[in-house]
Each structure stands twice: as structure tokens, then as C-alpha cells.
Amino acid sequence: MSIIEIRGVHKEYLSGDEKVPALRGVDLNIERGQFIAIAGPSGSGKTTLLNLLGCLDSLDSGSIHIDSADVAAMDSKERARFRREKLGFVFQSYNLIPVLSVLENVAFPLRLLDLNEKEVKMRCMEILAEVGLADKAARLPGRLSGGQQQRVAVARALVKRPALVLADEPTANLDSATGSAILDMMKAMNEKHGTTFVFSTHDKMVMDRATRLVMLHDGLIVSDGSPS
């Protein structure tokens, strides 16, 4: 069953007075529970596509349905609510709030939902235990390693039990051993919870672990299949 259906998506950006095409008619179905990497050289359109899936940008033409919702038909407030309720994000720069503890960072997305304090703390401690950081709940992010900070970011993305997690170059700031461990953890959580993961990447480690690899070039899909 598809969680994402993309049809005929075009997106352009202005560079001075010139229109630069980022996506030029992309069609793509992503099944629920997949662990998929979208790859390609700089300027291929992979980050643009991830931003559209994350409701962080609007498309010029075509359609995107996520979990049966018509993203293209949403206004900015509706997209914000959809992000808050349905999507999780993992970024290469972690994007943790430095003055909040690990627990408070993970709890942040839940504060926007209608949950009581007991439920919030229970969910946070459960997910922190899964990523191996329950004993670091009271620490500030600055007292953690890069790999630990990215684990916190993964916990924050998953704590609200989203239908879809979007990961933009999540290993870019990590050494290879730490990046490999983070990817293994994300893969394990994908298999345990059935959460769909979509990566934007040029990291071979991510591509090798993906169950499906979509290659973009100049705004078009040029291959789609198994990484092998």
C-alpha cells in the first residue's frame, strides 16, 4: 500500500531573472514501511523533492498525496498542521535546542499535540531507551557527541509515531563508524515500528542500506530499484 504518491511534479526556482527547473515531471510511488534513499549529484533535485514531501515548500504543478492527504491542495497553515501531526524530520545538523535537555528536546514535538505530561514523559523515555540514551535524558546537547546528538534527533523524529520520517543527509556530519551505527539503528527502528523512512543523500552507506534506491539527475528520475 502506497504512503506517498507523486504524479507529474514540477518545481522551478528563480535565479535572478532566470527560472531554473529543479524537478521536471517526477512520478514516484513509495510503499508504506519502505527504507528508501533518493540520491543524485548536487542540483539533481533530491533536496527539493524532500522539501516538497516535508510540506516545507509548495510545488508548481502535479500532485503529491501522503497518507491519502492531498498535500498540493493545502494552504500554509494546513501544511504546518500536517507536518506537526504526520511527519518526522532528521537533519544533518541535528537541529537540537541547546538550552533544553535531551528529554526536553525529544518532548518538543509532543508539546504541540494534545497529550498530558505523564504520556509525554513515558513516550520520551521509551524512545530514548530504544536509541540507547535513557541515561542521558537530563544532559544538554552540548555535552553529547555528534553521534549521540543525532540519536536524540532520531528519537525526536520518532516520538510522535509519525507515518513518515524524512532524513536529509543524516550522516553528513558523522564519521563513518558513527554514521554506520546511526543507520543500523534507524533500520532496526524501521523494521520494528514499520515507519517509512525517506533519505536524501549522496552517502554510499545510506544507499547500501536502503531497500530501494531512486536516482535523480537534472530533476528527473533516471533509475529506481534495488541498490545492488
Average pLDDT across the chain, whole number? 93
For residue range 24-62, list pLDDT tens digits in order: 999 999 999 999 999 999 889 999 999 999 999 999 999
- C-alpha distance from residue 91 to each of 5, 14, 15, 73, 207 (Å): 23, 25, 25, 26, 17
- Decide the pairing of beta strands 69-70 and 220-225: unpaired
pLDDT over threshold 90, residue 14: no
For residue range 155-208, list pLDDT tens digits in order: 999 999 898 999 999 998 889 999 999 999 999 989 988 999 999 998 999 999
Contact 193, 130 (CB under 8 A): no
The pTM assigned to this predicted structure is 0.92
Q: What is the pLDDT of residue 227?
A: 82
CA angle 191, 33, 94 (to 5 degrees): 75
- Decide the pairing of beta strands 212-217 and 35-39: parallel
Q: What is the pLDDT of residue 113?
A: 82
- Kindly state the cell numbers that stand for 83: 507536518
CATH for 2-96+161-225?
A: 3.40.50.300
